[in-house]
Amino acid sequence: MTTLTSEQLEHLETFGFLAVDEVFDAGEVIGPVIGEYCAVLDQLCEELVRRGELSETYAELPFGERVSRVYVETQRVYAQYFDFSLPQKKIAQDTPYWAGPAVFAALTNPQLLDVVEQIVGPEIYSNPVQHVRVKVPESIAPRDADGNVIYGATPWHQDSGVVNAEADDTEMLTVWFPLMDTDAENGCLQVLPGSHRGEVLTHCSGVQGLAIPGAMLAEEQARAVPLPAGGALFLHRKTVHAALPNVSERIRWSFDLRYQPIGQATGRASFPGFVARSRSRPEAELRDPGAWDEMWREARDRLASEPDPSYNRWDADDPACA
């Protein structure tokens, strides 16, 4: 068990972030996830070849090189095929997602939850705002008609700012961890230390999603947070953070997860969360990965037949967004 020291807990409280280099065994947790995603990529490549959109499956290549070849040849991004969440609009009955057992095992990893428990307490809910991000080098990434990288560096934001206001008082903890060693070259996260002490700032719609206008930020204070596989970055819900662009020649592959005390609003009520740990009622914990997958399947079916819910509290006409 990784026991956080008083100094580490004080660092999180003071600066709004905490990097821990060893949270779990990378081979034990990440190895099966990579194997699972290789199978997902197998299915995607075979589908693209059948549709005549890809010349071959590139089956002999490792995951990173293979997904890069697919993106380059098709000039499309297939992030949704790997994600264990749904998009915020235009959900259909066949919208792809992946909620496999190895991913579920990572979300509920006891060593990870041991650290989360030391921050949010013993009654832990897995918030459904969660993603896997596979980012190919920006030098070869597909671009839109204006030349913007389609799936590039995540802009400056607060995680409280990308959920509905009902969760403003939720003690939501972000846990970001890489599936490979990350550094400033291949797009690790960067944070603005101490920014969690302020309010939830205005977020504006941009090419890469919601973003805080630069005029509101002291970007010169940004600190990059490189991490090895097996480590994790813990973030306060109001800590301003962003991803650096991937200027390397390798992919950047990461999970970002959210946890909170049971009973508090998730800020995305249309998506399914679950009890990850309960010391008082362990029988309430979800332990079946198949049941988790079914929760997402049911959510997809329901949302495919309903109008898109509202996930964005921000006014596009706000002067800050001009």
Angle 114-296-308 (CA atoms, 0-180°, nearest 5)?
Answer: 120
Taking alpha carbons only, the member of 31, 132, 122, 104 closest to residue 288 is: 104
Please report the sign of the dihedral spanned by the C-alpha atoms of residue 133, residue 244, residue 251, residue 108. Answer: negative
Q: How far apart are CA 54 and CA 92, in angstroms?
A: 24
pLDDT in tens, 225-279: 999 999 999 999 999 999 999 999 999 999 999 999 999 999 999 999 999 999 9
pLDDT in tens, 66-116: 999 999 999 999 999 999 999 999 999 999 999 999 999 999 999 999 999
Confidence of residue 312 (pLDDT cuts 50, 70, 90): confident
Assess whether pLDDT exceeds 80 at residue 127.
yes
pLDDT (0 to 100) of residue 70 = 98
Q: How far apart are CA 166 and CA 222, in angstroms?
A: 29
So where are the chain's domains? Answer: 6-305
Assess whether pLDDT exceeds 80 at residue 306.
yes
pLDDT (0 to 100) of residue 259 = 98
pLDDT in tens, 135-180: 999 999 999 999 999 999 999 999 999 999 999 999 999 999 999 9
Cα-to-chain-centroid distance, residue 74: 24
pLDDT in tens, 178-203: 999 999 999 999 999 999 999 999 99
pLDDT (0 to 100) of residue 66 = 98
Q: What one-character-per-residue DSSP string does 20-46 give?
A: ES-SS-HHHHHHHHHHHHHHHHHHHHH
Least confident of 13-17, 57-61, 213-217: 213-217
- Fold adopted by 6-305: Jelly Rolls (2.60.120)
pLDDT (0 to 100) of residue 207 = 87
- 136 vs 10, 68, 139, 270, 296, CA distance in Å? 36, 6, 8, 30, 27
pLDDT in tens, 36-59: 999 999 999 999 999 999 999 999
Confidence of residue 1 (pLDDT cuts 50, 70, 90): confident
Q: How far apart are CA 251 and CA 278, in angstroms?
A: 36
